[in-house]
Amino acid sequence: MKRRNFSRDLWQINANLKQDKVRNPQSEIEIEMRHTLSIVVADQPGELSRIVGLFSARGFNIETLSVGQTTDPAWSRVTIVTRGDDRTIEQIVKQCSRLARVRVVLDVTMQPHIEREMALIDVEATPGAARQELLSLVAVFRAKVVDISETGMIIEASGNKEKVEAFIDLLRPMGVRDVTRTGCIAIGRLSTAVNSTRVSEEQEFAQAVNSA
């Protein structure tokens, strides 16, 4: 299952797909890939709807969306995960860049970066074995228990999309009553750490899962 492939970052998968395309330019297949766009826009009323409106008006799709302040309170960062072939993504980037209050649009997907999402998961867990089982999964996934009652627990989990989804999938048989998920946020890796001392949580995590 591709979703469980934690050992490779999405950007690596994308880069490989892209290489295939370069090697075989005759191929008519346009590769639709997930892209994470980081848009820095003025923190003013209506600017978010300008971006979202542009996506719907031009027929682009938004998988996840998250918004927050940057280091400068005058500017917000909008992180959008979208899907499309290279030309579509190029158009999205260009169309967003055209907006008067957008400072920069980055497609972070094609460079080493870190992505995180968060989920709050309400799971059934009665005292006893079920609760113990749940707690051990929480430990393996480096999640957190943030609320507890007689009948259940609320778990806070974070990681990339694949990890969060894998976690929720694993919890499902135990009785997931509700899930709230954030959109994806992303940041570029520190360039010096890329090749040498990079510690990938995913790699570490994959080892933990394998050894368990």
Rounded distance between C-alpha atoms, residue 121 and residue 204, angstroms: 23
Min. distance of Cβ 96 from other proteins in angstroms?
9
Binding of residue 31 to other proteins (CB under 8 A): no
Binding of residue 98 to other proteins (CB under 8 A): yes
Nearer to other proteins, 64 or 91 (CB): 91
Tokens encoding 111? 């460079």
Name the nearest CA neighbour of 64 among 50, 77, 47, 83. Answer: 83
Min. distance of Cβ 138 from other proteins in angstroms?
44
Binding of residue 103 to other proteins (CB under 8 A): yes
CA distances 13 to 46, 117, 207, Å, are 35, 19, 19
Binding of residue 71 to other proteins (CB under 8 A): no
Nearer to other proteins, 44 or 111 (CB): 44
| Residues 68-84 as b or e (16 or more Cβ within 10 Å = b) | eeeeeeebbbbbbbbeb
Contact with other proteins (CB under 8 A) among 8, 18, 21, 50: 50
Of the candidate spans 39-47, 114-122, 129-137, 171-179, the one that interacts with other proteins by CB under 8 A turns out to be 39-47
Residues binding other proteins: number (CB under 8 A): 20
Binding of residue 42 to other proteins (CB under 8 A): yes
Of the candidate spans 10-18, 100-108, 120-128, 161-169, the one that interacts with other proteins by CB under 8 A turns out to be 100-108
Burial class (CB in 10 A: 0-12, 13-18, 19+), 3: exposed
Rounded distance between C-alpha atoms, residue 64 and residue 80, angstroms: 6
